[in-house]
Amino acid sequence: MRKFSIIIGVAVALFAASSLHADEFSKVGTSGAQFLKIGVGARYTAMGEASVANVSDAYALYWNPAALGGMTQSHLEFTTISYVSNVNLNYVAFAKPLSFGTIGAAVTALTSGDMEITTIEEPNGTGKMFSTSSYAITLGYARQWTEFFSFGMSAKYITERISEVRASGIAFDFGTLLRPGYRNLRIGMNISNLGQEMKFSGPELNFNYNPSGDNESVDNAKGVLDVDSYDLPLVFRIGAAYDIQYSPSTRLTFSVEARDPSDNEQQGSFGAEAAFQETFFVRGGWQLNQEEQSATVGAGLALKVWNSTDLSLNYAFADFGRLNSVHRFSFGLRF
C-alpha cells in the first residue's frame, strides 16, 4: 500500500490545483483549430490521456516535448483515428537521439471528405460539394540536462481550410520532465499551442451587393466579409506517472493529469496500464469534467522483429456518449 501513497497524494494535489481558480463563466467555443486537441497515440488515449508525465516515445511531440530527451533509440509512430461525424485524423511522428539532444518531426492531418453545400434558399442541398481539412507540421527538440531534468520545445505550422477559405499560423509547445529520484516517479508539465491568432481569408469571402438598395439596380458593388480572428486552444498540463514492478514479468503503471485549457473548464484524467512480459498490455482510463467523453480502454502488443528493432501495435476505444464511439489504431517502430 505504501507504493500507492505517493500517487494518491499527487493526484489529490493536482485535481485540487485544477479547480482553485475555476472561471465563473464558460470558455467553451472561444478558440479555433480544435483538431489540435484530439489526442494521438492509442496507448496514451487508452490511459485517459494522462500522458504529460507518462509519454516515452515520438508521441512526446504531442504530449510533452521534454520526454524526447530521455530516448536512446529512434522512434517512428503512426496513428489513425476514426473520429466523430465521419472525420478522420492521421498522425505520423519520428524522433532520433543525437549527441546534442533528441530531434523530432510530426505531421497531423484531419480531413472530412466531401459534404454537400446548403443555403437558406436550398436547405436540402445545392448539388455542389465542399470539404474541410486541417494540418499541423511540428519540429521539436529536447535534451536531458541532468539525470533528473529534461526540457523540450517544439514549433508547429498550422493551416485550416473550409472549401476555398483558409487560415494559418505558428504555435509553440514547451515542456519539462522531472525525475525526482524517488524510485521511477516522473512529473511532467507542458504548455501547448502558444501562438498567434488565426484568421480566415479567401475568394469565398468576396461578394457583390447593390449599394442603392432598390430592386431595379444590379449587384455591381464588390465587398469582402470581414471575419474575426480566433485564438488557438492553449492548454497547460501537469501530471505524474509511477511504475510498480509487481513481479518479474508484470509491470503496473499509474498516471494522473490535470489540465487547464483556455477554451474550457479545468479537467483531469487518470489511467493505468498492466504489462505482461513487456509484450502484451491492457489499459484503461477515465477523464473528468468532460461533457461526452469519459471512459477509455485499450490493449497493445510489442514484438521484436529484427535484432534491435521492435514493433508495437496498439488500439484504444473511447466512449463519446451521445456521439459515435472513437477508435484509434497505432503502429510504431523502435530501432
Q: Give me the residue label for grid cell 483556455.
A: 262
Tell me the per-residue pLDDT of 1-13, one tens digit each, with 9 for 90 and over: 444 444 444 444 4
Contact present, 15 and 288 (Cβ < 8 Å):
yes
Contact present, 299 and 315 (Cβ < 8 Å):
yes
Distance from C-alpha of 119 to C-alpha of 155, rounded to nearest angstrom? 39
pTM listed for this prediction: 0.84
DSSP states along 158-208:
EEEEETTEEEEEEEEEEEEEE--SSTT-EEEEEEEEEE--B--BSGGGEEE
**pLDDT at res. 308:** 84
Tell me the per-residue pLDDT of 301-323, one tens digit each, with 9 for 90 and over: 999 888 888 999 999 998 876 66
Local confidence band at 33 (pLDDT 50, 70, 90 cut-offs)? confident
Instruction: Mention every residue, 6+ apart, whose C-beta is less than 8 A from residue 88.
Output: 80, 81, 82, 110, 111, 113
Contact present, 187 and 162 (Cβ < 8 Å):
no
Tell me the per-residue pLDDT of 132-167, one tens digit each, with 9 for 90 and over: 889 999 999 999 999 899 999 999 999 999 888 889
Distance from C-alpha of 266 to C-alpha of 28, rounded to nearest angstrom? 11
Instruction: Name the fold adopted by 2-117+129-207+220-334.
Output: Porin (2.40.160)
Enumerate the domain spans of the chain. 2-117+129-207+220-334
Distance from C-alpha of 323 to C-alpha of 45, rounded to nearest angstrom? 17
Contact present, 27 and 263 (Cβ < 8 Å):
yes
**pLDDT at res. 215:** 59
Residue 201 grid coordinates = 481569408
